Amino acid sequence: MKVQPAAFFRTTLPLDLGQLARLDDGRYHSIWLPDHMVSFWPDSIWTPEFTDLATVSPSPHRHLDGMAVAAAAAVLTRNVPLATSVVDTVRRHPALLAQSALTIDHLAEGRFILGLGSGESENIVPYGFAFDRPVSRFEEALQVIRLLWDSDGPVDFEGRFFRLHHARLDTEPFGGKPPPIWIGASGPRSLDIAGRHADGWWPAGAWTPEEYAQKLSLVKASADRAGRDPESITPCFIQVCLMGRDDAAIAEILEAPLVKTFLLQVSAEVLRSFGFEHPMGEHWQGFQDIDPATLTRERVLDFFDRVEPEMILAVVPHGTPGQVAHTIKGFVDAGLRVPKILDYGGMAGLDYAAASAENVRDAEDELMRLCEGVR
């Protein structure tokens, strides 16, 4: 398949559905819609003291239901596929996910992609959902979804986490074909699951082209062992980057508090592999340790004092849009085919947020130029 970027559609307030029309013109492979209860930014620093973004939004956590927004997008677009990126299998029962996905796919006339993952603690633990053995729960949920899609009439299922007794989902898939399932996976066991079940894959983290290639090879090897065509799995990635028009802009972006907090999403193990000790300590697990409500102002200020710009630059592509495009080309050479370029520089403040969309588009243009003829 050719290299083609994906678009990102924010599922937060204020919601601008009018933006969907410009994403439906053939430029993008697909539109990706996140599904969160909360964001990663600590409540304690979402104030005008730290960011002028807080002057236009009272909270960074004004999330809407990703599946519901996908349904709205389905009837407001005609061409581009729509993918959740990603819905977890903890907050929604797999039977509900199976029905909702078929519903949205009918609304989209066959353009919906069910993007699934095992979940992140900040969206689950505060709400009292059970988060034990998330990968096992995830794999069992996939089995239930496929069973309901593939069975005629009532079905029974007796699993560790889910049970069906004379359950039925008689709604036929649109066009006789159920929606593709894309899986977010990074650990060895999750990558094996992706190879056996996924129609598309993207990692929660792949910090170098070499790491992306290694994880993709594990997915493909698993697919091959399962008797599936490894090349039928679409390789994707949300590529976080920092873009500015010159070195001075990048230097300013790196000083922004919300940009520094990106390192909260990076584990101590990963940062250590780049030669740095994590500002949150040697046991910090990244995504799984983030709780925006409990990261106090004092702890975040101490974190800021320990952040070095080089730590951020080590783990994300950075520079002008053209420079970032050339870096992402390395991931394409490693097997990536559907990149989503996500400019974290927009979190540096209102002025940078306003420039971010143009920077992303310029980087996409240069990347597509670099990848002409790549298959």
Please write the tens of the pLDDT for every residue from 120-155: 888 998 999 999 999 999 999 999 999 999 999 999
Residue 254 forms part of a structural domain: no
78: three-class secondary structure by DSSP: coil
Give me 192's structure tokens.
């094996």
Q: Is 301 a domain residue?
A: no
Which residue in 71, 75, 77 sits closest to 27, CA to CA?
A: 77
Q: What percent of the chain has pLDDT over 90?
A: 94
256 domain residue, yes or no: no
Q: Give 363: exposed, middle or buried? Use CB within 10 Å, 0-12, 13-18, 19+.
A: buried
pLDDT above 90: residue 277: yes
Residues 226, 195: contact at Cβ < 8 Å?
A: yes
Helix, strand, coil % over all residues of the chain, rounded to 5: 50, 15, 40
- Note the pLDDT tens digit of each residue in 192-242: 999 999 999 999 889 999 999 999 999 999 999 999 999 999 999 999 999
Average pLDDT over residues 242-257: 96
pTM of the model: 0.96
In a domain? residue 132? yes
Please check whether residue 272 lies inside any domain of the structure: no
pLDDT recorded at residue 49:
95
Mean pLDDT of the residues in the chain: 96
Residue 310 lies in a domain: no
Residue 55 burial (C-beta neighbours within 10 Å; 0-12, 13-18, 19+): exposed
The residues facing 83 across adjacent strands are 32, 113
Our count of domains for the chain comes to 1
Task: State the CATH number of the domain containing residue 327.
Answer: 3.20.20.30
Distance CA 284, CA 290 (A): 9
On whether residue 294 sits in a domain, the answer given is: no
Mean pLDDT of 279-306: 93
pLDDT category of residue 1 using cuts at 50, 70 and 90? confident
- Residue from 133, 134, 145 nearest 181 by CA: 145
Cβ(337)–Cβ(234) below 8 Å: yes
Q: For the chain, how many residues are written?
A: 375
Give residue 287's pLDDT.
Answer: 84
Rounded-to-integer distance, Cα 38 and Cα 59, Å? 10
Does 23 score more than 90 pLDDT?
yes
Instruction: Give me the domain span that covers residue 109.
Output: 6-249+316-371
Q: Is residue 60 pLDDT above 90, yes or no?
A: yes
Query: Is residue 291 included in any domain, yes or no?
Result: no
Confidence category of residue 272, pLDDT binned at 50, 70, 90: very high
Question: What is the 8-class DSSP label of residue 373?
Answer: T
Flag whether pLDDT at 244 surpasses 90. yes
